[in-house]
Amino acid sequence: MSIDVKATPERVQADSDILISVENLHVWFELKKWGFSHVGWVRAVDNVTFQLKRGEAIAIVGESGCGKSSLMKTLLLLNRPHKGSVFFEGQDISNIKGKALKWYRSQVGYVQQDPYGALPPFMPVHRILEEPLIINGVKDKHERDERIRQALQEVALTPVEDFLNKYPHMLSGGQQQRVVIARAMILEPKLLVADEPVSMLDASVRVEILRLLRKLQEEHNLSVMYITHDLSTVRFFSERIFVMYAGKLVEQTHIEELLNNPLHPYTKALLTGTSVPDAANATHLKEVPPGEPPSLVNPPNGCRFHPRCAHAIAGVCDVKEPLHFEPVPGHFVNCWLYEDGRTSFPE
């Protein structure tokens, strides 16, 4: 597969290690009036840059509407970038079409949030798993059957015969999600994009599904992009965590570091908001930032979090966009609080 790439020396050097590289990615949706006149842009993802190594799992957290799903859909090329580029194994995939697109899609698996909605209700399981194989040119019926069985075994839907002819509505939520994962894995992708894969499942099944994803990631040396708004599930298998707010990445670091030392006021708020089953929680209310996430059409000037931020510095946060600081090595944050070199959240 050869795609015309504007390769820079750095990128070529990094090729072997880095699977996906997102550079200044903007995902904007045009707002139109009467179907043609331009009104404005919804800045769902605004100037996001990050890299994902082979075999690495990252988590993207943020509340609903922060742009994490748009980011994910852009990586799946269900949306196209407005500006910026996405490099996959060093090749710019932002505008690929036809065969290249088909090839790229076979390299990326997609696990969705709602397992029931993600499975066509009118197809039995074997047919659901066969579809990606047919589309991607596995012509031999025998080979397809073999791969379907293998995929079902991998997601522990055994005995396989019991599931092959079942329709999605005959399966439990956990089993449905396993079928979704099997479908995502059947083309042996290099990257798995999991969009809140456990948020619709019973608490009892969540751990199993997360363990399954972890196992697959390790066995296949998969890169995983795990999208969630639930910090309590993050630590199960992601190494790095990205916090997203209103279309921007506001904090990136390793999971332990983030949980122990959250730097961005928004991350701090997210962590506070995460429920821990503790009787004490029943008696007092936690402090959460007031207000709603900002409009993505007319985001606030400066830091997009400043209207809700208790620590906002007047004259700075509401004027200038925060720069990328690294107060602790390997821990990046976009917040003016760290301009002075402090290394932990101000009490």
> Which residues of the chain form contacts with other proteins (CB under 8 A)?
35, 73, 76, 78, 101-102, 105-106, 108, 110, 112-114, 117-122, 131-132, 135-136, 167, 180, 183, 187
Cis peptide bond N-terminal to 159, omega within 30: yes
Of residues 11 and 116, the one with the C-beta less far from other proteins:
116
What would the DSSP string read from start to end of 94-136? TT--HHHHHHHHHHEEEE-S-HHHHS-TTS-HHHHHHHHHHHT
Least Cβ distance, residue 98 to other proteins (angstroms): 10
The DSSP secondary-structure symbol of 313 reads: -
- Least distance from C-beta 43 to other proteins, angstroms? 21
Alpha carbon separation from 90 to 4, 19, 87 (Å, rounded): 10, 8, 5
Q: Using the minimum distance from each CB to other proteins, give the nearer residue, 113 or 217.
A: 113
Shortest spacing between CB 122 and other proteins, in angstroms:
5
Residue 101 or 156 with smaller CB distance to other proteins: 101
Burial environment of residue 254 by CB neighbours within 10 A (0 to 12, 13 to 18, 19 or more): middle
Q: Shortest gap between Cβ of 261 and other proteins (angstroms)?
A: 36
Q: Least distance to other proteins from the beta carbon of 210, Å?
A: 20
Residues 6+ apart with CB under 8 A from 181: 111, 155, 197, 209, 212, 213, 216
- The residues near 124 (Cβ < 8 Å, ≥ 6 apart) are 164, 165, 166, 167
Q: Who's near 247: CB < 8 A, 6+ residues apart?
A: 43, 44, 45, 46, 48, 66, 67, 70, 296, 299, 304
- Asked if 75 and 248 touch (Cβ cutoff 8 Å), the reply is no
Q: How far is the CB of 171 from other proteins (least distance, A)?
A: 14
Among 319, 187, 334, 195, CA closest to 265: 334
In the complex, minimum distance from the CB of residue 106 to other proteins, in angstroms, rounded to a whole number: 6
Is residue 281 a contact partner of residue 275, using CB atoms and an 8 Å limit?
yes
80 versus 324: smaller Cβ distance to other proteins: 80
Concatenate the DSSP letters of all residues of 167-207 into one string.
Answer: -GGGS-HHHHHHHHHHHHHTT--SEEEEESTTTTS-HHHHH
Q: Which is nearer to other proteins, 192 or 333 (CB)?
A: 192
What is the nearest approach in angstroms of other proteins to the Cβ of residue 132? 4
Choice between 224 and 250, CB closer to other proteins: 224
CB closer to other proteins out of 102 and 324:
102
Return the number of the residue (135 or 156) whose C-beta is nearest other proteins: 135
- What is the Cα–Cα distance from 188 to 179, expressed in whole angstroms? 15
Q: Which is nearer to other proteins, 142 or 169 (CB)?
A: 169
Q: Least Å distance between CB 31 and other proteins?
A: 16
